[in-house]
Amino acid sequence: MPELAINGGPAAAEALKLPEWPRLTETSRQYVTESLESGRWCRTTGGEFCDRLEEAFAAYHDVETAIAVSNGTTAIELALRACGVQPGDEVVVPSYSFIASASAVPCVGAVPRFVDTDPETYNIDLDHLEEVITDRTVGVVGVHFAGYTMDMDRLLPIIEEHDLFLIEDAAHAQGSEWRGEKVGTFGDFGTFSFQESKSLPSGEGGIVTTDDTVLADRARTMANIGRRQGTVDYYHHFLASNRRLSELQAALALAQLEKLDDENRIRERNEEVLLAELESIDGIATKPRDDRITARGYCIENFRYDADAFGGLHRDRFIEALVAESVPVSEGYQLPLYRQPAFYRNEVARFLPRGTEVPDYPNLHLPGTEEICRTNVTYSHKLLLADEAGIRSVAEAVRKIRANVDELLE
């Protein structure tokens, strides 16, 4: 076996060539040019691309309504407000995710309650969810992490039993399905991000989906400074922020949506190849196969690393060695969300009614989440757009490190 690249040997994954991302297609260029030349760059001046994006996104998800917004974070905040969250309410949130999945809750005046993570799926631990719910809990924000769908068969009965709202944070999951139904359609709202790293990017941007006409009307007005959709007068029905998406970003997102399924099919096919390779390596744990997940969307993907199987080599040193072999991986989210300084009591309390009890978040101990923070290895959806030789070279790089691990332990 050749010497490890980190020690001067040749990289095992030189064949791995990732595509440029985001991809600028001719359709993207055409739509943006049309929007630019129209002179209607803001939706309120009569542009058409926000309307076209909403119609196409709703049709793609087979829902009644999609509402384009400025980004994925405001999408979650909008959904919480439209669901009627009141100051001091409690909302259950994931403990392993991008911060917006949880920070949106105190930003609307409510108290986040962190639920543990299932280390096999990276989604919320549904056994722990039932323990976290209290008589002050009004809803749940759940993430389809890395596009791997939450177990909706178990989650929805819990939501119904406790009379809670459900917001599906599908920022990672454009195109994922559970039993043939697109995610973002099971709860009261689905929320999506079009940030540049996502598989459906427009630089910044987001969208919410719902089949509830009352919630949809409320959300549209809340996204438009309290104005009714389509009006440009100065009559505002209630206090609300401006969460509108620009016409230029909508044009870009619409073009990206049109190629999403083709790219996801490539990613899913390549992931099958990669999983088959990685599953044969002792010390590498991939997510379980679940036939109820009938299609996958992607943003990132993950596997867990067992240091004991690599002679006690620390996960961070393993990542360093794998990067040297030309495999672009990282540790992902470094901290449980409840350990982030943003969730210290004095920070959260600034957003809540005076006297609201704020949990001592940094002293929480959620074992599943903390296991993932120790063992996780993350790679981008871009890796799954490489050719088959490049995909297989990822596993070859892992095998090379395992075979030469003594070089790293000296």
Q: Where do the domains of the chain lie?
A: 26-259
pLDDT digits (tens, 9 = 90+) for 251-286: 999 999 999 999 999 999 999 999 999 999 999 999
Which residue has tokens 């009714």?
228
Q: What pLDDT is recorded for position 197?
A: 96
**Taking 80 as the threshold, does the pLDDT of residue 33 lie above it?**
yes
Q: Which of 17, 182, 198, 400 is catalytic?
A: 198
pLDDT digits (tens, 9 = 90+) for 328-382: 999 999 999 999 999 999 999 999 999 999 999 999 999 999 999 999 999 999 9
What are the start-end ranges of the H helices in 87-233?
100-107, 126-132, 152-161, 213-223
| Confidence at 47, pLDDT banded by 50, 70, 90 | confident
Kindly give, in sequence order, each residue whose CB lies less than 8 Å from that of residue 268, ignoring residues fewer than 6 positions away: 295, 296, 384
pLDDT digits (tens, 9 = 90+) for 133-190: 999 999 999 999 999 999 999 999 999 999 999 999 999 999 999 999 999 999 999 9
Pull the structure tokens for residue 402: 């395992």
Taking the C-alpha atoms of residue 377 and residue 319, their distance in angstroms, rounded to an integer, is 7
Say if residue 355 is exposed, middle or buried (CB neighbours under 10 Å; 0-12, 13-18, 19+). exposed
Pick the CATH number of 26-259 from 1.10.3720.10, 3.30.565.10, 3.40.640.10, 2.40.50.180: 3.40.640.10
What are the start-end ranges of the H helices in 91-151?
100-107, 126-132
| Confidence at 235, pLDDT banded by 50, 70, 90 | confident
Is 400 annotated as catalytic? no
| Confidence at 1, pLDDT banded by 50, 70, 90 | low
Please give the biggest Cα pair distance in the chain: 72
pLDDT digits (tens, 9 = 90+) for 55-94: 999 999 999 999 999 999 999 999 999 999 999 999 999 9
**Taking 90 as the threshold, does the pLDDT of residue 410 lie above it?**
no
* DSSP β-bridge partners for residue 117: 124
> How large is the C-alpha radius of gyration of the chain?
22
Residue 298, number of CB atoms within 10 A of its CB: 26
pLDDT digits (tens, 9 = 90+) for 287-297: 999 999 999 99
Kindly give, in sequence order, each residue whose CB lies less than 8 Å from that of residue 39, ignoring residues fewer than 6 positions away: none
